[in-house]
Every structure is written in C-alpha cells, then in structure tokens.
Amino acid sequence: MPGGRLDNLDPQILEEIRVRAGLPKDQIAVRTGVTPNVISRWFNGHSSPSPGHALTLADVLGVDVLDLTGKTMATADVVDLRHRKGWRGVDVVDASDGQVNRSVIYNFERAIAVPTAEQFNLFADLYEVEVSEVKRAWVNRRITRYGEESLDYLTADERKLLSPWASRRPQ
C-alpha cells in the first residue's frame, strides 16, 4: 500500500523557505507538533515527513507541499498529488467511499497500465485538481519510473487519452 514519506524533500529548499517565512526551527516544531529533533532530521536530510506532517509543515511555512520538493504542478507526479492532500494510500481508499481499493492505488502510482478515463476523473475529484493535471502527473510518474521511451509502448487510444502529455517530457 502506498504510504511512505515525502519524496525528494530538499533540505536546502526547506531552509530557504524557512528563512523566507521568518520562523526559527523550534517554532516550526511547535507549530507542526513534532519534536525539535525530528525537525532537525528533516532540515539536515536524514529523514522526511509523512504526507500528513508534510502538509502541516507546508501550511506552517505558507507554501504548497510541492514547494518543499522544488516541484510544480507541471513536474508533479501522481504520488506528489496525493502528498499535497497530506494523504497516505489508505487515506485515498477511505476518501473514495469504496470506489478504489489498495490495488487500484498501487497500480495507479506504479504507472504501468494506463488508467481509465473514469479513474482519471475519480482521482481528479479526490485530489481536487483538474483531470488534465492528473493525466500529466501520471505521465510524469511513468517517465520518472521507466524513462521517456516507455511512452513509445502506449497504444493509439492511450496516447489520445493522455494527450498532449504522452509525447512530452515533464517540464
């Protein structure tokens, strides 16, 4: 089941955001509800926050969760979209009211088989983004995991469903 930690937390970016926000690390610890030791581990790159803590951290710093990793909506992948909600995979299952199960989320985030149009619509609703953003994020995930050449194996129908991102690199 997808869960994990915030992928690609960049300590340098995190420190720049902290300085811009004008908050000392001890205040970040208090406001996020974690110990100063945990904050120190995030800032020195020895660990990264869970999705829920990443959302709280981003809120405390006044940024989007994607900002903590240096990504944008154009470069985000489907796991990043889930993390923007502060969710683990099981939280998606709960939020979907039985419309998806662990297997669907696992396959969606592995980016092997192209999801159906209905699945793209459902994930867009769950993540509160446009369907086009979910499609782009899925393509970004596929490219990150398997290389841009993996798009060559998509069928014409899959390319049409994923258009225009099926033939582009993430920006």
3 close to 83: Cβ distance less than 8 angstroms: no
What is the pTM (predicted TM-score) of this model? 0.90
Cα separation of 156 and 5, whole Å? 35
End-to-end CA, the chain: 28
Element (H, E) at 19: helix 11-21
Domains observed in the chain: 11-69 (1.10.260.40), 78-164 (no CATH)
Gyration radius of the chain's alpha carbons: 17
141 close to 107: Cβ distance less than 8 angstroms: no
21 close to 67: Cβ distance less than 8 angstroms: no
Six token digits for residue 97: 């009211």
Measured N-to-C along each axis, helices 36-43 and 25-32 cross at an angle, to the nearest 10 degrees, of 120
Burial of 132 (0-12, 13-18, 19+ CB in 10 A): middle
Cα separation of 138 and 76, whole Å? 9
In order along its 171 residues, the chain shows pLDDT tens digits of 345 688 788 999 999 999 999 999 999 999 999 999 999 999 999 999 999 999 999 999 999 999 999 999 999 999 999 999 999 999 999 999 999 999 999 999 999 999 999 999 999 999 999 999 999 999 999 999 999 999 999 999 999 999 998 875 444
